[in-house]
């Protein structure tokens, strides 16, 4: 059972996490949801299309202008409070590696801290424990936040992913984070080249076998673009193919830009796997 905020999700229940970037320079939408009004519209649309989690980020993942903790909090805290007011049952996640920001957004109503940089600030897990919030434990290859990998090398990339993510998850629980609210993430593109991310996807069932719920953040990433030689705006099909494979191998949570398309893929895979009945089943029965 995965428990986040007021929501509980069964073992075979796929969960969509919709991305809402509060940044002026995000790689995908170039700041389309930086202002409050379009960002709130994005939340409304994502919830209507089937997202159970809204993931709010105040700092671009890649290199760019310096963003202080104070500025990151300014971009996210008030927005978290407004989303909480409008959507009391939605799970609110905040994509941050800083404990100061984690503290402020938890005070404002966040349910989940999405630590995409692999525990670079060890105090973030302490914040999650103090507030009873969930935590995403990610493999980032030990790189500094907002830096790109350079000649990343692993003897066995999945062995390293398992060592890091399970270690972070066990530490979080030891600190007091609820066990049912901890997820692990292989960290596609983070501290990895394209071949590493493809191998991590291919071996995702090894993460699932640990018993920790697995979150994947695949949406329009560079490993998809390089694999198919497609620019950012032409990566949806590759993303959805990777989503289908990840679902078949047992991942549970999907951090995405395109909610409606992802939901159809996840529903179809769940039905093939026998976890979900068809929405309509008339063929051959008339």
Annotated catalytic residues are 221, 255
Strand pairing class (2-4; 7-9): antiparallel
Residue 259 corresponds to which tokens in the numbers above?
């909610």
The Cα–Cα gap between 50 and 37 comes to 20
Distance of alpha carbon 162 from alpha carbon 159, whole angstroms? 5
Identify whether the C-beta of residue 57 lies closer than 8 Å to the C-beta of residue 115: no
- Where are the alpha helices (H) located in 176-282, listed in sequence order? 194-202, 204-208, 222-228, 236-249, 259-273
Q: How many CB atoms lie within 10 A of CB 26?
A: 22
Beta bridge partners of 16: 254
- Residue 181 makes CB contacts below 8 A (sequence gap 6+) with 2, 3, 4, 112, 132, 133, 134, 135
Tokens found for residue 167: 């270690």
Q: Both tokens of residue 254?
A: 């999907």
Provide, for the chain, the percentages of residues in helix, strand and coil under a 3-state DSSP scheme, each rounded to the nearest 5: 45, 15, 40
Query: Tokens 């008030």 label which residue?
Result: 78
Tokens 């003897």 belong to which residue?
155
């Amino acid at each position: 059972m995965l428990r986040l905020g007021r929501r509980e999700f069964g073992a075979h229940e796929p969960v969509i996490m919709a991305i809402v970037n509060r940044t002026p320079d995000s790689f995908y939408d170039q700041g389309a949801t930086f202002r409050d009004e379009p960002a709130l519209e994005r939340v409304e649309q994502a919830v209507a299309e089937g997202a159970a989690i809204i993931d709010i980020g105040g700092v671009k993942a890649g290199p760019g202008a310096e963003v202080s903790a104070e500025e990151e909090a300014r971009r996210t805290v008030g927005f978290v409070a407004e989303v909480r007011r409008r959507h009391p049952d939605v799970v609110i996640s905040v994509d941050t590696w800083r404990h100061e920001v984690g503290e402020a957004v938890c005070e404002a109503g966040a349910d989940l801290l999405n630590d995409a940089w692999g525990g670079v600030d060890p105090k973030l897990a302490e914040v999650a424990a103090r507030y009873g919030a969930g935590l995403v434990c990610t493999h980032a290859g030990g790189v500094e936040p907002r830096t790109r990998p350079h000649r990343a090398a692993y003897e066995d990339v999945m062995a390293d992913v398992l060592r890091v993510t399970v270690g972070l998850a066990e530490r979080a629980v030891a600190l007091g984070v609820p066990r049912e609210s901890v997820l692990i993430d292989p960290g596609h593109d983070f501290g990895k080249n394209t071949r590493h991310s493809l191998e991590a996807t291919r071996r995702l069932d090894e993460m699932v076998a640990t018993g920790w719920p697995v979150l994947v953040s695949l949406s329009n990433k560079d490993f998809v673009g390089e694999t198919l030689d497609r620019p950012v705006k032409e990566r949806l099909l590759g993303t959805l193919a990777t989503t289908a494979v990840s679902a078949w191998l047992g991942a549970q949570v999907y951090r995405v830009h395109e909610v409606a398309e992802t939901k159809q893929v996840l529903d179809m895979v769940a039905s093939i796997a026998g976890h979900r009945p068809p929405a309509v089943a008339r063929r051959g029965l008339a």
